[in-house]
Structures are given as C-alpha cells and as structure tokens.
C-alpha cells in the first residue's frame, strides 16, 4: 500500500450517541501522526457529491459530550450501484484522500467492503449503532447510552403503572435484534422481555398475564421492535382481547433512544476505537472493523462482520427468566 497522508471520516446510517467522540479521536489521532483529516458530510451521499471539509483540532473541540454527529449522516441508495460508488471514488481522488474511516452499522460496512475491493482503497469500520448487533464486537457505540435512556424512561412509566395498576407494553428499538430490549429489561426490572431471538414467547406471557390478572398488579413488559408477534402494539392488542379485565397501555419510545449526551462508557470506548482505526490504517490494515472483545481492541474483517449473525447473550436470557 502507498503511504497514507490524507484520510476521510464519515458517519452513515442511524446516528448514535458517541459518534462525535469517535470523530474527535480520529481527527486528533490522525493529526498526532502527521496526517490530514477530512470530514465527509452526510455519509456516502456527501462522498458522492464531494461534500468534504478539512477537520483540524479546533473543529472537534467541545463535541465529545454531544449526541448525534457533527458531520451528519444519511442513507444513500445511489451508493448501492457501481456508478454511484465510482462518483464517490472520483470525489475522494479530487481531495487526494488515501483511506476512509466509516462509523456506522452493517449496511455502511457492506458498502465500504465493496468499494474497497472495487477501487483498492483502504476502509476501516467503527461500529456505531445503538442496536449492538454487529458480529465480532461485544460493544457498539451508542448502545450503553441508549440502554440508560430506556431505563430512565421505563422508571418513569413504572410510576404511572403502579399508581393505576396498569400493564405497560414498552417497545424499544433494535430492528431484528433483542440486545437493547434484553439488557434494558433486566436493568429496569421488567416483568416480561420479548426479543426476536426467542420463539413462542407468547405462551409464557399468557400464563404470566393470567396470574397477574388474579393479583391485579402493575407490570412492565419490554418488547423489541422486531419481535415476530407484531411489536408492542400487536402483542398488547392480543393480550387485551384475551384478558379484557386488564388495564393495558402501550408506549413506543422511538427516537429518543438515539439522542442525548453519550455516557462516559460510550465516550471512552468511542475514543479508543477512533484512535485504533487510525493506527490500523498506519499499520497497513484495510477492510476491517475495529471491535471490542473482553474490553480489548480487535480487528475483524468487514466481510465477516456483515455476513455473520450475532446472537444475544443466552446467560442474560436465562437470568431474565429467573428474575421475572
């Protein structure tokens, strides 16, 4: 590989608390090693359009505590086609950018892996998604903050549930993955946790509801949005039909889970990953994701992290069943 002098950094897909901490680490580590760093705005869309700006140390001052991403993010259908990726490559060449660091999820990494092969340009991925569903890493940027956001919201919902003797079905994000639902459910003492990775959960829930109806107690049921039974609204409707005597309410937490000031853990881990991504480029690495396994930095091939599925912690599933 040719010597790397200029690197680009972009955020792609859904935003996650801690992305700014990663951007800051990329910029400052790059400058520390004598590199020029460019921010590619609005993800791959900005790469195609040439919306690229130089980033200096002062440009990333005061951003570590901010949620979202200062260089913005977007989803780009044009990048799915070779023609779009060729436009993106041409723009990178205009700025003499030698390598790119992508902060995002599996869709972002898929695009990075393809473009790296087509144009022989190094891409390094940093996992940034509140879903924590990327293979090869125990942790993704934003997951810890999102978990805390869910717990804080559910604690408040529980006050109302207890006051009125109601059962609340609370839907959390995660697409087809139950990591956020499982961890937050345990943390807030939920009486039920429904995740896509576990099948036939409705029978257990019906049994629990029959017992709960007899005792007339309040409950919190956490539901992952990708649950096969239809999410919180669908499940709550079915339970209400079977147990009309229960007072049931539904809350969808939605995008509040993506926002907010990142936790200390997200800030620290994002900083570690951002710095490690620059050092990986300087070590002639390409087409890898920076991960954390047992709190240690690891390198995972991009094609492996997008092809392999990550399962939820079965020990946590068992713990949830015991504690409920």
Domain count, the chain: 2
Nearest Cα to Cα of residue 240 among 173, 169, 181: 169
Domain limits for position 88 = 6-142+262-307
Burial pattern 32-55, b for ≥16 Cβ within 10 A else e, equals eeebbbbbbbbbbbbbbbebbeeb
Positions marked active-site: 131
Query: Is residue 119 domain-shared with residue 246, that is, in the same domain?
Result: no
Q: Are 243 and 286 in a shared domain?
A: no
Q: How many Å apart are CA 158 and CA 164, to the nearest integer? A: 10
Whether residues 138 and 10 share a domain: the answer is yes
270 and 254 housed in the same domain: no
Three-state SS letters, 37-83: EEEECCHHHHHHHCCEEEECHHHHCCCCCCCCCCCCCCCCCHHHCHH
The verdict on 191 and 56 lying in the same domain is no
User: Cβ contacts of residue 140 below 8 Å, gap of 6+?
Assistant: 16, 105, 127, 128, 129, 130, 131, 132, 133, 134
Instruction: Decide: helix, strand or coil at residue 171.
Output: strand
Mean pLDDT by 10 residues, the chain (324 residues): 89 96 98 98 96 98 97 92 96 97 95 95 97 96 98 96 92 91 96 88 82 75 83 90 89 95 98 98 96 97 92 92 86
How many angstroms separate the CA atoms of 178 and 195, rounded? 5
pLDDT in tens, 68-109: 999 999 888 899 999 999 999 999 999 999 999 999 999 999
**CATH code, 169:** 3.40.50.460
> Does a structural domain hold residue 233?
yes
Distance (Å, rounded) from C-alpha 61 to C-alpha 84? 33
- Report the distance separating Cα 193 and Cα 155, nearest Å: 15
Task: Answer for the pair 133, 142: CB distance below 8 angstroms, yes or no.
Answer: no
> 28 in a domain, yes or no?
yes
CA distance 4 to 30: 10
What is the bridge-based pairing of β-strands 192-194 and 219-224?
Answer: parallel
Angle between helix axes 231-242 and 201-215 (nearest 10 degrees) is 50
- Check if the beta carbon of residue 159 is closer than 8 Å to that of residue 253: no
133 with 67, same domain? yes
Give this prediction's pTM. Answer: 0.94
* 14-50 pLDDT tens trace: 999 999 999 999 999 999 999 999 999 999 999 999 9
Return the CA Rg of the chain.
Answer: 22
**Is 221 within the bounds of a domain?**
yes
């Amino acid at each position: 590989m040719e010597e790397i002098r200029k690197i680009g950094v972009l955020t792609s897909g859904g935003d996650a608390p801690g992305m700014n901490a990663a951007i800051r680490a990329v910029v400052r580590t790059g400058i520390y090693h004598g590199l020029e760093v460019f921010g590619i705005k609005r993800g791959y869309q900005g790469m195609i359009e040439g919306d690229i700006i130089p980033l200096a140390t002062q440009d990333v001052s005061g951003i570590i505590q901010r949620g979202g991403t200062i260089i913005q993010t977007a989803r780009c259908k044009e990048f799915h086609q070779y023609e779009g990726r060729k436009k993106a490559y041409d723009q990178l060449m205009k700025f003499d950018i030698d390598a790119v660091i992508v902060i995002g999820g599996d869709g972002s990494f898929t695009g990075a892996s393809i473009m790296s092969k087509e144009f022989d340009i190094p891409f390094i991925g940093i996992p940034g998604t509140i879903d924590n569903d990327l293979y090869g890493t125990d942790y993704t940027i934003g997951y810890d903050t999102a978990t805390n956001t869910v717990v804080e919201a559910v604690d408040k919902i529980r006050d109302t549930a207890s006051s009125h003797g109601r059962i609340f079905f609370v839907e959390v994000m995660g697409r087809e993955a139950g990591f956020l639902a499982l961890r937050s459910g345990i943390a807030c003492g939920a009486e039920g946790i429904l995740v896509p990775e576990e099948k036939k959960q409705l029978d257990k829930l019906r049994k629990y509801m029959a017992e709960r109806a007899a005792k007339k107690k309040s409950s919190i049921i956490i539901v992952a949005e990708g649950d096969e039974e239809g999410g919180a609204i669908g499940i709550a409707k079915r339970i209400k039909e079977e147990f009309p005597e229960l007072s049931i309410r539904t809350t969808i937490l939605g995008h509040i889970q993506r926002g907010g000031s990142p936790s200390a853990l997200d800030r620290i881990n994002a900083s570690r990953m951002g710095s490690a991504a620059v050092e990986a480029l300087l070590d002639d690495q390409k087409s890898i994701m920076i991960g954390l396994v047992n709190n240690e930095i690891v390198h995972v091939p991009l094609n492996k992290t997008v092809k392999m599925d990550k399962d939820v912690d079965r020990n946590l599933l068992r713990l949830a069943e015991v504690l409920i």
